[in-house]
Amino acid sequence: MEATKQQHHPLFNNQKHVRLARADLHQGDCLAVIPSLDGFFDAVVTDPPYSSGGQSKGNRAASTGAKYLNTGSIQWPDFAGDSKDQRSYLHWSALWMALCYEKLNPGGLMVVFSDWRQLPVTSDALQAAGFTWRGVGVWDKAGSARPYKGGFKAQTEFFVWGSKGPLVGDTYSAGLFRVQQKPGEKLHQVGKPLDLMEPLVAACGQRILDPFMGSGTTGLAAIGQGKEFVGIEVSEHYYQVAVDRLRGN
């Protein structure tokens, strides 16, 4: 009789790991990678897929390029994990946040980006995962935002933040950041500006985890400030972009 082949869930496929001077970079699904990480972190600073760019099931399943890029703009490869409906997004967010909770030091910060549509779900998930929800910060994109004919410019994104128990840091940080993406800066379809990530990372202790690192912008900010960074990215393309970007820093 033929032996039954072991069937792996896609979660556990294709994990890679590169260790740089100040960064550990993992390729894989963060639900599988986070539990395997060594040591504890002072903060999670991350920008997960928002699963937000469509109001119907069909729209959500469209490519991320079709959902988030203006026609005629530069094309970057699509990214993963962006087609959940809101209920499953809540459930999934609580899962990965709870795994992060386990890996944080007491008082550790959770800083998670969101857009207007997923804002309530993201703060629910943060609390369901065990964090004390402490506020919502604002990224004002200034000129680099999509205009809305007959409505209001989509000019802001948000970061929901909380802590694992009482706060322990001694920094005072602003809660609103007006940062325009510099032309040519983006290495990811929805990459964040370095000038936005730098002040967030500065408020966040010495060892930082980003489970959705994309092109590695959080990591670049952390390494630039002499901090230690651990990043996870499921897409092979963007993982390699992050490795190339952080190597040598």
Ligand X SMILES: C[S@@+](CC[C@H](N)C(=O)[O-])C[C@H]1O[C@@H](n2cnc3c(N)ncnc32)[C@H](O)[C@@H]1O
Instruction: State the residues that interact with ligand X by CB under 6 A.
Output: 29-31, 47-49, 79-81, 188, 190-192, 211-212, 214-215, 217, 232-235, 238
What's the half-sphere exposure (Cβ side, CA atoms, 13 Å) at 115? 16
Nearer to ligand X, 123 or 215 (CB): 215
Whole-angstrom distance, CA of residue 224 vs CA of residue 173: 18
Nearer to ligand X, 132 or 240 (CB): 240
CB of 170 to ligand X, least distance (A): 27
CB of 29 to ligand X, least distance (A): 4
Nearer to ligand X, 81 or 224 (CB): 81
Task: Name the residue among 176, 181, 167 with its Cα closest to residue 133.
Answer: 167
Whole-angstrom distance, CA of residue 96 vs CA of residue 122: 12
Q: By Cβ distance, which residue is nearest to ligand X?
A: 214
Nearer to ligand X, 122 or 215 (CB): 215
CB of 2 to ligand X, least distance (A): 33
CB of 99 to ligand X, least distance (A): 11
